Structure 1
Amino acid sequence: MSNASTDLTGKVAVVTGSGRGLGLAYATALAKAGASVVVNDLDEAIAEQAAKSITEAGGKAVAEAVAVGTSEAAERLVARAVSEFGRLDTVVTNAGILRDKVLWKMTDDDFDAVITTHLKGTFTLARAAAVQLREQGEGGSLILVGSPAGQRGNFGQTNYAAAKAGIAAFVRTWSMELARAGITVNAIIPVAATAMTETIPAFAPYITANRAGAPLPDFLRKGEGFGTADDCAALVPFLASAAARDVTGQCIGIGGDKLALWSHPQEARVAYADGGWTPETIAAVWHSSVGSEPESVGIPAPRIPEA
């Protein structure tokens, strides 16, 4: 068990898409742990209000309104952290959008918009941050935001699932590339009541009741690992802290009362044929060997108790 501190006093973080929802919860949690935070949102008024909510609670925050997805935006966010607070220690790549459609109805614009925001937005900010962190020479952390859709796929989310799967691959690759610089790279896989999940029919009545003050039931908080945005926030300051200096290359799930480590893809079953395979020999052994237990796909449907 690590005795290292989770205090972030003197540290500086950039959190994209932090004007509301999960992003604001992450930024607020970082500030409560002592970090100075650059709050980001596409909407300037929303970003300013989010930063104000943090400063009024005693934290340190400034707003930077810019759409992620370009090198210029990424460099602007890093530069704001350095100019305002003197350094950079952590980035959280949370900004995202949805353009859900089934494959045969998804347009190029639907695909490009989601890939640009999630995947390219993550890449450009991580690259700009890596340059700054390596120049500082004191390590740091990249905290990427993934999704169960990127781990397992999800109906109607070709663009989003592909982007989030790519983010998981970023984690594995960058954790190796940045290890010598002392920079950790991890993804959080949050599950929470947000604008992106409230459209799920099974969850909708419970989210509505929660907003009216009712607690989420245990079957959601424990059984589904589904809670509020604030429930997911604690993982971010942990990963940004000295207590997680040896945690890197991981996809970590959090939601409700549940904390989980996602496995990496790996070979599940193998078979061998002397001299190699032909279509016929594969067909002869497939169902009795490698293909005997196919891997499942998709996010399991929530188990709602009977009334």
Structure 2
Amino acid sequence: MPDPAIDLTGKAAVVTGSGRGLGLAYATALAASGAAVVVNDVDPEAAERAAATLRGQGARAVAEAVAVGTSEAADRLVARAVSEFGRLDVLVTNAGILRDRVLWKMTDEDFDAVVATHLKGTFTCARAAAVRMREQGEGGSLILVGSPAGQRGNFGQTNYAAAKAGIAAMARTWSMELAKAGITVNAIVPVAATAMTETIPAFAPYIQALRERGEALPDFLRKGEGFGTPEDCAALVPFLASDAARDVTGQCVGIGGDRITLWSHPQEVNAAYAEGGWRPEAIAAAWHTGVGSVPQTVGIPAPKVPSAQTPATEAPAA
């Protein structure tokens, strides 16, 4: 039985992009805590397969295959939860795609597709869920999925980083707007071995060793980098959806491997003053010894890989 503080029995959730990977891990964790789940994916077979797996584990689960982004898709997902389970209490906006390109090579289509799925998809689904939760009058939880790229930027990810930064800002904004309705809004910042992170050269050999040979991720990744499996990230979702987190809202919470973190919100880190206001020459003269003396870093730090830890690319010969 679920811990009483985390018991979601009688609650219903929608998890977008939950046919596989992190989304499936979130849906599984919610179901294990007692929630009924609408499994969403753009791939009908993946969605139904995931829902069937949850039902096989004793959960109440249905599949709804639709690409998020439009208001119509969001309304379908909320309506499915209400028609199947009578209510909606939890929304997890996990659906996403990548179209990585450096700025001068990124097309309008690359930019628009990622923003439509991540940013507009989060907005439309959250709006539809908020309308329903406010009508129910019993509170609820919006759990938005962010990324380290949205917190710090990432080379080649103009579209993705911008969308994820927007998601963090929406979580903060909506936490204020929905507070009177008892609806908490938080962004999670997961770091896990997925098809997306396997494209990162520093992570690729470890993810391949995990996937192909079942090798455990080393401690320098699990602890030092906070990088683990999708299942390692999943516990945060039922916690944020539960009564144990009724006072947690407007936060960006990182999780991965053995580590959980709280991200700071952007804030001023230094200040300087000039009587009567600043002139360009005065800023230039004061910058390096004053307000700009400690510039802020950008980008996601590369993993520090101990040379002895690098896994073999092939299994040893028998």
Residue matched to 1:227: 228
Residue matched to 2:91: 91
Distance 1:122 1:265 in 2: 21
Matches within 5 A, 1:195-214: 195-211=195-211, 212-214=213-215
Q: Compare 132-141 and 197-206 and name the one that shifted more.
A: 197-206
Residue matched to 2:114: 114
Matches within 5 A, 1:1-307: 5-211=5-211, 212-307=213-308
Indicate if the aligned counterparts of 1:8 and 1:30 stay in contact, CA closer than 8 A.
yes
Distance 2:42 2:26 in 1: 17
Distance 2:168 2:16 in 1: 18
Residue matched to 2:315: none
Indicate if the aligned counterparts of 1:4 and 1:242 stay in contact, CA closer than 8 A.
no
What is the TM-score when the length of structure 2 is the normalising length? 0.95
- The SS at the match of 2:138 is coil
Distance 2:208 2:9 in 1: 36
Distance 2:4 2:34 in 1: 15
- Per-residue deviation at 1:112? 0.2
Give aligned-pair identity as a percent: 80
Indicate if the aligned counterparts of 1:13 and 1:90 stay in contact, CA closer than 8 A.
yes
Q: How many residues align?
A: 305
What is the TM-score when the length of structure 1 is the normalising length? 0.98
Q: Which amino acid aligns with 1:248?
A: T
- The SS at the match of 1:63 is strand
Spell out structure 1 runs of 4+ moving beyond 4 A.
none
- Per-residue deviation at 1:201? 1.1
Distance 1:61 1:175 in 2: 28
- Per-residue deviation at 1:4? 6.8
Q: Which amino acid aligns with 2:172?
A: R
- The SS at the match of 2:180 is helix
Indicate if the aligned counterparts of 1:4 and 1:243 stay in contact, CA closer than 8 A.
no
- The SS at the match of 1:24 is helix
Note the aligned Cα RMSD (angstroms). 0.8
Distance 2:188 2:284 in 1: 40
Distance 2:95 2:208 in 1: 24
- Give ranges in structure 1 of 5+ residues lacking alignment: none
Indicate if the aligned counterparts of 1:252 and 1:260 stay in contact, CA closer than 8 A.
yes
Q: Which amino acid aligns with 1:270?
A: A
The Cα offsets for residues 48-67 of structure 1, whole Å up to 9 and x where unpaired, read as 00000100011110000000
Indicate if the aligned counterparts of 1:16 and 1:68 stay in contact, CA closer than 8 A.
yes
Distance 1:37 1:306 in 2: 43
Indicate if the aligned counterparts of 1:193 and 1:227 stay in contact, CA closer than 8 A.
yes
The Cα offsets for residues 131-179 of structure 1, whole Å up to 9 and x where unpaired, read as 0000000000000000000000000000000000000000110000000
The Cα offsets for residues 247-302 of structure 1, whole Å up to 9 and x where unpaired, read as 00000000000000000000000000010000011111000011101000000000
Q: Which amino acid aligns with 1:261?
A: L
The Cα offsets for residues 100-146 of structure 1, whole Å up to 9 and x where unpaired, read as 00000000000000000000000000000000000000000000000
- The SS at the match of 1:67 is coil
Indicate if the aligned counterparts of 1:153 and 1:297 stay in contact, CA closer than 8 A.
yes
Distance 1:4 1:183 in 2: 20
Q: Which amino acid aligns with 2:281?
A: E
